[in-house]
Structure 1
Amino acid sequence: MNMTETKPGTPASQRAGSIPVTTAATAPGTSLTTRLGHFLESYALVILTLLVIIFFSANPASSSAFPTMNNINVILGSQSVTALIAIAALFAFIPGHFDFSLGAVAVSTQVLSAGLMSFYQVPLWAAFLLSMVFAALIGVVNGYFVTQLKMNPFVTTLGMSILLTGGVTWFTGGKTILSGIDPAITRFGSTRILGLPLVFFVVLLIAAIIWYVLTHTPYGRSLYAIGSNQESAKLVGIRVERNVWVGFVLGSLIAGIAGIIQLSRMGSATASSGGDLLFAALAAVFLGATAITPGFFNVIGTLVGAIFVSISVSGLTLSGASGWASSVFNGAALLVAVGLSTYLGRRRKKG
């Protein structure tokens, strides 16, 4: 999805090319309004998230449980998996592609790690290593199909998702893996630092690394250039196919880490399609493209989007909403986010 031709992080005064932004000296009375508009555009999602927190904290139906430390830990724990899959998706979305296999990759690494320990008594470290190798191989295959065979990324990754779902169902026999899992992984998932889940800090560390890679390295900037105009990127010497291929591999690796974290939080593994994980993550990705640097897929905005989704679903659940409410919310949030991010991207292009 091509969002804009301007590099993320570019000051607002430079995003419209060489056209200068009107200042107070040239148009008295408009500068403050313009700055306020830019601020609201960039931080509307942050403000909305704070308002949602206030609402569910004050709502009689959820006020007794929502603002508690226990619920905060639940939100941050669930947000961790969603955020990692959303960050993984950036490596496909930024250069203008799709990867709908990430939820299934996360489930596959979760099931494979648990199964290797439970069925074959493989040590914890070896089970994780083999699972991450498996996740990387899925990225290699997806990248090969898309960049070398020129297959449609939507169809390719959707097909891979279906294939993985069938594979984990066969591997588990349709049963939940409960026994034989090294207790060290569940201890990791339940560990808290400063009263917050350790996995939350792990996600922050990974997010910081990915933010640096995407915004401060030639590789990251090349992905934005490819997403802006692939032909122009080729003309300036960017190795488009290689960089996109690497992006699919990195995305699958991060989704694999999300699966490991999911295993540490649940202490068990069940075969599933990963759809719930994927759709919540996609909502976070597109919501993130409306925040911080509107019109761009970006890491910080994606984290805000993931927190917004987790907080909203938690608030709805504690308010007594039915089980289908979370799916309805994720779907509605995804539709609204795609519409807003597309609108902002087109407006940036028009300058």
Structure 2
Amino acid sequence: MTTTQAGPVADAPQASPPAQARRRGLGGRLLDQLERFGLVVLLIAVALFFTFLPATSAVFPTSANLRNVAANESILVVVALAALVPLVAERFDLSVGATVGLAAIVTGKLLTSGAAPTLVAILAGVLVGALVGLVNGIVIAHYNASSLVITLGMATLLQGVGSYLTGDTTLLGMPQSLLDFGNLQWLGIPRPVWLFVLLALAIAFVLGMTVFGRRLLAIGSNEAAARLVGMPVSRTVLLAFVVSGALAGVAGILVLARTGGASAGVGAGYTLPAVAAIFLGSTTIRPGRFTVAGTLVGVFFVAISVNGLTLAGAQDWVDPVFNGGAVVLAVAAAAILAKRRLGSAR
């Protein structure tokens, strides 16, 4: 008769995780929350800093200043939303700024020449933007061309077209109804803010709740797998660029409404800040993903910071340095977060 002795591991009850592992788990959760909302917390901290800083406390927290910041950033928000849509599918659109300029110029010429009523001229500007997106989309989606190269070339081409159309002059004399939209308020809130909020909600809905949005996310996550399951990748990418161009056209109309004029190269300065906002936004709320909420946080983090620094007496070079630095830091942070997730997955 033989006896079998069970080992101590088999006989002993299953042990609970050690205290060190529990502490590591708690620390990991805290780190995850910091990762998700760190930029939001930093935005609040920056706003509080300039609220109480003696050099800016008299002006920065006033409703007039905050309304001005929101209204001024309305154009950039729409441009960032335009660049965001194809970027969800891992395609860059570096022509959004130049498309803004061309849409503004086309609409401005129609309005100042009296060739079309205001509404028709506005629709023409949006259509021009959509057509630019269509051309980008055809070349990039159907011929598998580099989105960086194609849209950068398109941006250069559009700036030349804008210079030709304006004769290197500034188009002035926009109708008062358009200027009123850009500079007056509804219920104490600048009218352009209402527009960008509606557009942000619409894009968030499209990306999160529609088949088109889910396809974009799938393509951005794993394009090869998306093709294998039969997704219309080319058609989806093409439509993303059309939406991007149309939104850039809307931003061009806002430029006219806010400034009352258009000239060659008027939109060129929006591309880098828009990309900076998107990449900054990819480090917050849903880290590693390009989202509307994150993009808005990115836009206003840079805007509030630059506004506060300007009120504190910073020189003109602060704005481009801050935007360029934001791009570098955001891309680096996104890479670090991706590496951290890959390590934890293993």
Tell me the TM-score normalised to structure 1 length. 0.89
* Match status 1:178 vs 2:172: yes
Equivalent residue, structure 2, for 1:315: 308
The DSSP-based 3-state class of the residue aligned with 2:316 is coil
User: What residue in structure 1 maps to residue 4 of structure 2?
Assistant: none
Could you tell me which residue of structure 2 aligns to residue 211 of structure 1?
204
Structure 1 window deviating more from structure 2 (146-155 vs 42-51): it is 146-155
**CA distance change for structure 1 residues 292 and 302 in 2, over 3 Å: closer, same or farther?**
same
For residues 119-134 of structure 1, what are the structure 2 equivalents within 5 Å? Answer: 119-134=113-128
Which of 32, 35, 38 in structure 2 is aligned with 1:38?
32
Instruction: Mark the runs of 5 or more structure 1 residues left unpaired by the alignment.
Output: 1-21
Kept in 2: contact 1:296–1:345 (CA 8 A): no
Which residue does 2:195 correspond to in 1? 202
Alignment of 1:84-163 (within 5 A): 84-163=78-157
Alpha-carbon displacement from aligned partner over 1:37-78 (angstroms, at most 9, x marks no partner):
222111111111111111122222222221122211121012
Q: CA deviation at 1:189?
A: 1.1
Aligned pair 1:249/2:242, yes or no? Answer: yes
CA distance in 2, matches of 1:25, 1:60: 47
Partner of 1:264: 257
SS of the residue corresponding to residue 44 of structure 1 reads helix
Aligned partner of 1:84: which letter? Answer: V
1:62–1:318 contact (8 Å) kept in structure 2: yes
Cα distance in 1 between the residues matched to 2:144 and 2:33? 41
CA displacement at 1:252 relative to structure 2 = 0.8
CA drift at 1:302: 0.4
CA distance in 2, matches of 1:336, 1:148: 33
Compute the displacement of 1:83 (Å): 1.2
Q: Conserved in 2, the CA contact under 8 Å of 1:91 and 1:247?
A: yes
Q: Is the 8 A contact 1:23 1:30 kept in 2?
A: no
Shift of 1:105: 0.7
How many residues get paired?
A: 329
- Alpha-carbon offset, residue 35 of structure 1: 2.9
The CA RMSD over aligned residues, in Å, is 1.9
Q: 1:110 deviation in Å?
A: 1.4
2:227 aligned residue (231, 234, 237): 234
Q: Percent identity?
A: 40
Counterpart mapping for 1:52-71 below 5 A: 52-71=46-65
Please tell me whether the aligned partners of residues 125 and 252 of structure 2 are also in contact (alpha carbons under 8 angstroms). Answer: no
Question: Which deviates more, 189-198 or 156-165?
Answer: 189-198
The aligned residue for residue 224 of structure 1 is: 217
Q: What SS is found at the alignment partner of 2:261? A: coil
For 1:54, give the aligned amino acid. Answer: L
Q: Write the deviation string for residues 193-252 of structure 1: whole angstroms up to 9, x where unpaired.
A: 332212112111111111111112221111111111111110111111110010011111
One-letter amino acid of the counterpart of residue 292, structure 2 = V
Deviations 1:137-164 (A, max 9, x none): 1001001111122222111101110111
Name the CA distance, whole Å, in 2 between partners of 1:23 and 1:204.
47
The residue identity in structure 1 corresponding to 2:324 is: G
Amino acid at match of 1:49: L
Find the aligned partners of 2:33 and 2:194 in 1 and give their Cα distance: 28
Q: Are residues 298 and 123 of structure 1, via their aligned partners in 2, closer, same or farther at CA, if it must alter by over 3 Å?
A: same
Are the equivalent residues in 2 in contact too, given 1:288–1:298 (CA < 8 A)? yes
Contact 2:36 2:283 (8 Å CA) reproduced: yes
Counterpart Cα distance in 2 of 1:102 and 1:38: 33
Mapped contact 1:162–1:273 kept (Cα < 8 A): no
The structure that has the greater radius of gyration is 2
Q: Which amino acid aligns with 1:145?
A: V
**Displacement of 1:135 after TM fit?**
0.7
- Assess if the C-alpha contact under 8 Å between 2:127 and 2:249 holds in 1: no
Are residue 78 (structure 1) and residue 72 (structure 2) matched? Answer: yes
Q: Secondary structure at the match of 2:143?
A: coil
In 2, Cα distance between equivalents of 1:192 and 1:273: 24
